[in-house]
Amino acid sequence: MIKVNNVSVTFKITHDQIKSIKEYVIAMFKRNIKYEEFVALNSVCFEVRKGEVVGIIGRNGAGKSTLLKVISGILKPTKGEVHVQGNIVPMLELGSGFDPDLTGRENIFLNGSILGYSEDFLKSKYEEIVDFSELGKFIDVPIRNYSSGMLMRLAFSIAAMVNPEILIVDEILAVGDESFQEKSKSRMLEMMSGGTTVLFVSHSLEQIREMCDRVVWLDHGGVKMIGNTQEVCDAYKL
C-alpha cells in the first residue's frame, strides 16, 4: 500500500533577522542571505503492506512528523519517491482545516470536504460525528469559542467516522480527557480490524506494542531499525 523509496528532505534555514518582504527582497538581490541546511530525513526506505499497522518511533526531532507529511502528500521530498495505493486520511494537525468563525456544524462539512467526502456522505454521518464528539449543544457555537480539547474532539470525530484505506496518525490518542482517549483508542482498533492500513506515531511504547505489527525506528532522520514490534521497542528502550 505504501512504498517509501530513498526519501530525503532538506530544509534551508536562515538566521538573518529579516522582518519584512522588502528586506528579504533587498537581501536576496544583494546575495546577503546565508542559509544553513537541515536534513530532516536521510535516505529513508520501507514498505507497508495492505492491512498492516506500522508504528514509527524516535526521539523528538528524529523526523517522524516530517515522514508522515511526505507520505500524506503535504510535503514534497527533496530526493526519492513515495508510492501510495489507496485513499489516505491523515490525522496529523487536527483542526488545521477549520474556520474559527464557523460553527462546529459548519466545520464538519468544511473539514469533511477537505478530506474529499461528499455533502451527502457527511450528512449521513453527521449525527454519528456529533455523538462521538460529545459536544452536544456546542456544535452550533463558533469554534473560536471552543477549548483546545473541544476542538480536538471534533476534529478526531470527523476523521474517525470515515473509512479510509490508509490512516496516518500522529499522537492522536492523546486527544481529550481519559474517557475520550479510551473511546478514541477503541475506534482506532475498530478501523484497524476492518482492514485499514495504518501508520502510527506515538511516544507511548505501550500503545505501539499493543497496536502495531511492525515498527520503524527513526534516528536523526534515518532508519535505525525496522522489524518485529517487541524487538524494536526493546532495543529502543536500551
Domains of the chain by residue range: 2-87+164-237
pLDDT tens per residue, range 77-97: 999 999 999 888 777 766 667
- d(CA 68, CA 116) in angstroms, rounded, equals 19
Contact by Cβ (8 Å): 84, 75: no
Mean pLDDT computed over every residue of the chain: 86
Closest CA to 151 of 143, 159, 140: 143
pLDDT tens per residue, range 125-138: 999 999 999 999 99
pLDDT tens per residue, range 23-52: 656 656 666 666 678 899 999 999 999 989
Cβ atoms within 10 A of the Cβ of 197, count?
23
- The whole-angstrom distance between residue 50's C-alpha and the CA centroid of its chain comes to 19
pTM comes to 0.78
2-87+164-237, CATH topology level: Rossmann fold (3.40.50)
